[in-house]
Structure 1
Amino acid sequence: MKPLTEQGFAADLHRALAQPTRSISPKYFYDELGSALFEQICELPEYYPTRTEFALLRQHGAEMAELIGADAQLIEYGAGALGKVRLLLAHVERPQSFVPIDISGPHLLQACAALQAEHPALKILPVVGDFTHAVALPAAPEPGAGQRVGFFPGSSVGNFTPPQALKFLAMTAEQLRGGGLLIGVDLIKDPALLHAAYNDSQGVTARFNLNLLERARREFGAQFAADGFSHSAFYNAPLRRIEMHLLSMRRQIFSLQGIDYEFDAGETLHTENSYKYSVAGFQALAERAGYRPGPVWTDAQNWFSLHWLQAPPR
């Protein structure tokens, strides 16, 4: 196969399938169907992060809004359905604008329309794009006006490896100079609880994972056996991360745009990591990225945390 220089799902999937150890970014989960399936995951009884973070935002939203301050520009990375930001907007004083960033355009624009109906006076400036790279943002508030503040809920920072997380945090520290970042971080806990969260009894997470291959079938005509792959998720304790894989159930061929890739039984395509942190460990990482760690809010069981990180001055 010739080297691929183009970007996007097809090119990255070819690159992943051509490697001895196959791995692809979890950002490709989030087409319209994948985004809808993730919203279903967030409602599952086994999936503790969403309800725990919602509870923290309800309990401490006013304290967080004080740190955000009046007339702020609020930027949400990986915005999704915009459920959690509503709990902040209930307390933030005169937000200058709200800039949600998400890779799934139709899902984002639909969510923005619903939020706009609830907040007619709020200036909503959606950005469809990959928030893991520097994207073009609207102008920041003028000096002397409100802060530019990032919001990154949902423990998505755990999808990055620690070096990737450091790079992402350093990028946001530059974008948010003079302001801060409010970020959700999942904490180290009982592996049994983690296993249940990523292997739910209704099989929604399995459908979410398998949808990556179905997306390749829909968009590029990929050919593979309908029952050829299964969902596999487990906690890798030494690396402090959940791993999600698509597991080949037998020897088979996966065909993509006329190129055949062979899978042996038991071989996998690694689709996601979800790293778990201690509070101190994450604060140390944020400090290396240029932030000054501030208040941290955790639930009574220490399952989940929300961190306020002060960005460098302008």
Structure 2
Amino acid sequence: MTDGEVRTRWDEAFCSAVVSGLSRPQKSIPCCWLYDERGSELFEAITRLHDYYPTRAEAEILWRHARDIADFCGEGAVLLEYGAGAGVKAEILIEALRAPRVYAPIDIEAGVLGRTARRIGGRFPGLDVQPILADFTRDFDAPELPQGPRAAFFPGSTIGNLNRREAIAFLSRMRRHVQNGKAVIGVDLKKDRRILLDAYDDGEGVTAAFNLNLLARINRELDGGFPLSRFAHEARWNEADSAVEMHLVSLDSREVAVAGRLFPFKAGDSIHTESSRKYELAMFEAMADEAGWRLARAWRDRGDRFAVFGLEALV
């Protein structure tokens, strides 16, 4: 498949996801579509905000326990990173790995993926970098990779964006990709609701810009007619789902054109754009076990806000 064919496929998938999502009683669009080039830049800015603790907490774990995590992955590792983005956390792990053979970043955004592959390749000249353009939330086949102990790397608590069924399917897919290997997964832990909501609704408005950028992308790529000033970002806590939800709330009643179709909004109607589930250890362990993994290690930050779990494939 050529690059042009891949791009066309993603454009069609984006259109289908948006039209389908806006047609539902509770409008929703999968959070993977937040991460176009501008969205990825805004998310990187979010990770540097004071209120957004997960990135700092996870980085603390990776720096403090890098050698232990690297030993867990094994010498000569073939490292697959799901939703790689800029690959900043992967750099910490690659630096600690003993003679890693391959780094395979997986991402849905071709521009971001290409820059990450070039940067990591330049930083580690002896490392074979094999980028994979794919939506990790859907089934895909990993390409042929050199022999070596395989390790999946999934930092950033992105596992929380998936509901239980989706998370088990993803963990099972990861299990298939690494065969009898390992996985290192970042997981945000359940904690005080105010801390959680502040992390997804910062006072500087960066998270709001990140969320609203999805409407700007729809306007640009799908001939959309969303007036950005008439939609507002909102973070909500869903106790039943143990999740922070992000919504885009319509401030008035209107019809919005997208891809040649009209979608009605009443004042207060929202588009659900992301859920970020927060786990307790037992909850995550049970889910991992159902997907064919054994929870072997757990590294936590000093504030006990975040965990990096080491999984071993059940054989």
- Of residues 269, 284, 293 in structure 2, which corresponds to 1:282? 284
Question: 1:25: which partner in 2?
Answer: 30
Q: What amino acid is the match of 1:137?
A: A
- The letter of the residue matching 1:210 is L
Alpha-carbon displacement from aligned partner over 1:71-111 (angstroms, at most 9, x marks no partner): 11000000001100111111111111110000111011112
Residues in 2 aligned to 1:239 and 1:98: alpha-carbon distance in whole angstroms:
34
Q: Is residue 11 from structure 1 mapped to residue 16 from structure 2 by the alignment?
A: yes
Q: Which residue of 260, 263, 269 maps to 1:258?
A: 260
> Which residue of structure 1 aligns with residue 97 of structure 2?
92
1:240 corresponding residue in structure 2: 242
Query: How far does the alpha carbon of each residue in 1:151-209 deviate from its partner, in whole angstroms, 9 at most, with x for none?
Result: 00000000001111111111111211111110000000000101110011110100110
Using the TM superposition, give the Cα deviation of residue 262 of structure 1 relative to its aligned residue in structure 2, in angstroms.
0.7
SS of alignment partner, residue 253 of structure 1: strand
Q: Is 1:210 aligned to residue 215 of structure 2?
A: no
Give the corresponding residue for 2:193.
Answer: 191
Q: In the alignment, is residue 119 of structure 1 matched against residue 121 of structure 2?
A: no
Q: Of 287, 291, 294, which aligns to 1:292?
A: 294
Alpha-carbon distance in 2 for matches of 1:271, 1:50: 20
Aligned-residue CA RMSD in angstroms?
A: 1.2
| Unaligned stretches of 5+ residues in structure 1 | 1-5
What corresponds to 2:107 in structure 1? 102
Count of aligned pairs: 305
Q: Which runs of 4+ in 1 moved over 4 A?
A: none
Report what 2:180 is aligned to: 178
Distance 2:26 2:91 in 1: 41
Residue number in structure 2 paired with 1:220: 222
SS of 1:8's equivalent in the other structure is helix
Distance 1:184 1:207 in 2: 25
Q: Residue 35 of structure 1 aligns with which residue? A: 40
Which one of the candidate residues 130, 134, 148 is aligned to 1:129? Answer: 134
Between 218-227 and 182-191, report the one with greater CA deviation.
218-227
Does structure 2 retain, via aligned residues, the 8 Å contact 1:233–1:245?
yes
Give me the whole-angstrom Cα distance separating, in 2, the residues matched to 1:12 and 1:226: 20
Shift of 1:7: 4.8
Segments of 5+ residues of structure 2 without an aligned counterpart are: 1-10
Paired residues of 1:174 and 1:312 also in contact (CA < 8 A) = no
Residue aligned with 1:223, SS: coil
Structure 1 segment 15-94 matched on structure 2, within 5 A: 15-94=20-99
Distance 1:257 1:169 in 2: 34
Instruction: Give the deviation of 1:280 after TM superposition.
Output: 1.6
Quick one: which amino acid aligns to residue 219 of structure 1? Answer: E
Q: Cα offset for 1:140?
A: 3.8
Contact 2:102 2:146 (C-alpha < 8 Å) held by counterparts = no
| Greater CA drift, 225-234 or 192-201 | 225-234
